[in-house]
Chains A and B, each alone.
Chain A
Amino acid sequence: MSDNTVIEVSELHKAFGDLQVLRGVDLRVERGEVVCIIGPSGSGKSTLLRCVNMLEQPNAGRVSVDGVDLTDPDVDIDAARRRIGMVFQSFNLFGHLNVLDNLTVAQRKVLKRDKENAETVARANLTKVGLSEKEKSFPNQLSGGQQQRVAIARALSMDPDVMLFDEPTSALDPELVGDVLGVMRQLADEGMTMLVVTHEMQFARDVADKVLFMDGGVIVEQGDPEQVIGAPQHERTKSFLARVLDPTHHGPSDPAL
């Protein structure tokens, strides 16, 4: 593993009871890379992402982030998670805290930054996601798109080495998707290392350095976005893309864009 590898997953297995969800997944994300994971619902994308920061405990295999093996029972998982930002499909903003406090609470309690310092960092990140005027609002006063951008700013305020996104735009009204994707593009341009589960094919094509197609708990196909999305090799990838790119299409797979 080179010094530039941020995430390395090997032979990862995860089962929920009898249900085998991940059946041997290998994955590598280099520093500054944007890797997008696509695939049908239930294929194990979220589970894979959640194994990367150990929100799910894998049954077998290895996950290392910044060279630290997170499957080691003696690892300080809280310390490791400080360097791994996560953005959830359902935002999960802290409902009892206003926007500014959402961004400062972990900085203060976990990183032990003082109030002033934490607020400076928080405001810089709010400005970055275009919500500096919302710092006193509560989550339930914001639109879904605004909440998700606050969630991104919250993760960024911890100065993570890598960001995980689990379908960040799937819960949003269509007209709000663009704002969130815009923030993510900007992050990618700034060189953030990102692992993104998404159904936004245009985003994956434009931004990803690598696209993985998952189905049935394994990575079926991976490579350059133009190759995986533009000219998929596997039958399963072709039929998935046909369904995603043209939901009304019922004929034989034709993933031409």
Chain B
Amino acid sequence: MTRRQRASAFRAAQYALLLVIILVFAFTANWTQLRHSFFNLEAAAKQFPDVITVALKNTIVYTVLGFSLGLALGLVLALMRLSSVGPYRWFARAYIEFFRGLPALLIFIAVGTGIPLAFPGTSLNRNVAIMVSLGIISAAYMAETIRAGIQAVPRGQIEAARSLGMSPGRAMITIVIPQAFRIVLPPLANELIMLTKDTSLAFLLATTPDQQELAQFARQALNTTQSLTPILVGGLCYLVITIPLSLVQQRLERRFGAGVKPGGGV
């Protein structure tokens, strides 16, 4: 066989395999049952408007709260990682390893039970607990991303700032961090997408009906509608958040990733 013949035979084999897989699924799955469970229009209609006005809204609120805390804490941890003071570096290192290594589920439980223990008498504000849980997890990831971004800013930028009389802290705040953030925008957008899905653990903090986010809302609706359709509706709502984020991330990558180099040097 020539190289061209071999290539087209190989491609034909791949299409054949795909066709077989599709046929197997088509004939073995119970389509009536699936359609009845997942595409029940009546059950879908019942989800509205609460799935938007309560569940989607809460998912967005929890994501924003968790991301804000995570970003602030992550920046502090990144600076600690780069500090000349040993104990700061060790603490940041330990924090990052610890919270990156634990499942988010455990952290939600620990925060939910830990805050009332640590501050007796305070009633647990669920928004705060969700924000803290999501914040301490995402901070561990974001710290490493931000640290890498700070280190990717060319040394000449700091030298130029120092040569103009800026102190190390001033140079960091005015010159380095703004440029580091441009570098890390795409990976941070990725963190935001991950975090959006982690909000589904908020049910561990015993939320009231008006505090439910998408995943819990959908699970609850399974019982009332006797249908799997709410899962589909809830899932689509997640995509309403994450797909635009992905698009933004791709645009940022194109804008900052390859083309523009910080410093404008040679």
Residues in A lying within 8 Å of B, measured CB to CB: 53, 55, 78-79, 81-82, 84-86, 88, 90-96, 105-106, 109-111, 138-140, 142, 144, 147, 151, 154-155, 158, 171
Contacts and interface: CB of A to CB of B under 8 A. Distances in A.
Contacts of B101: none
A236 B113 CA distance: 77
B164 A139 contact: no
Given A95-B179, A96-B179, A110-B170, A78 B165 contact: yes
B26 interface: no
A81 B261 CA distance: 27
B161 A106 contact: yes
Contacts of A95: 157, 179, 260-264
Nearest to B159: A55
B257 to A, nearest CB: 14
B260 to A, nearest CB: 6
A110 B166 CA distance: 6
A81 B162 contact: yes
A218 B165 CA distance: 29
Interface string B81-121: 00000000000000000000000000000000000000000
Nearest to B181: A96
Given A95-B261, A140-B260, A147-B264, A55 B156 contact: no
Contact of B266 (A79, A158, A171): A171
Given A96-B178, A139-B264, A171-B266, A88 B156 contact: yes
Given A105-B174, A139-B264, A171-B266, A92 B160 contact: yes
A149 to B, nearest CB: 13
Given A55-B162, A94-B175, A111-B165, 14 more contacts: A78-B162, A88-B159, A90-B263, A92-B160, A94-B161, A96-B182, A106-B165, A109-B170, A110-B164, A110-B165, A110-B166, A110-B170, A140-B261, A171-B266
B157 A82 contact: no
Given A105-B174, A109-B170, A110-B170, A53 B264 contact: no
B255 to A, nearest CB: 12
A235 B94 CA distance: 59
B163 interface: yes
Contact of A82 (B159, B161, B165, B182): B165
16 contacts: A78-B166, A78-B167, A79-B165, A85-B163, A88-B159, A88-B160, A90-B156, A94-B160, A95-B261, A105-B175, A109-B166, A110-B164, A139-B263, A140-B261, A142-B264, A155-B163
A81 B165 contact: yes
A91 B264 contact: yes
B265 A53 contact: no
B258 to A, nearest CB: 13
Contacts of A53: 163
B164 A90 contact: no
Contacts of B161: 94, 106
B165 A93 contact: no
A94 B157 contact: yes
A160 B156 CA distance: 20
A86 B263 CA distance: 16
A158 B167 CA distance: 15
A108 B8 CA distance: 67
A53 B160 CA distance: 11
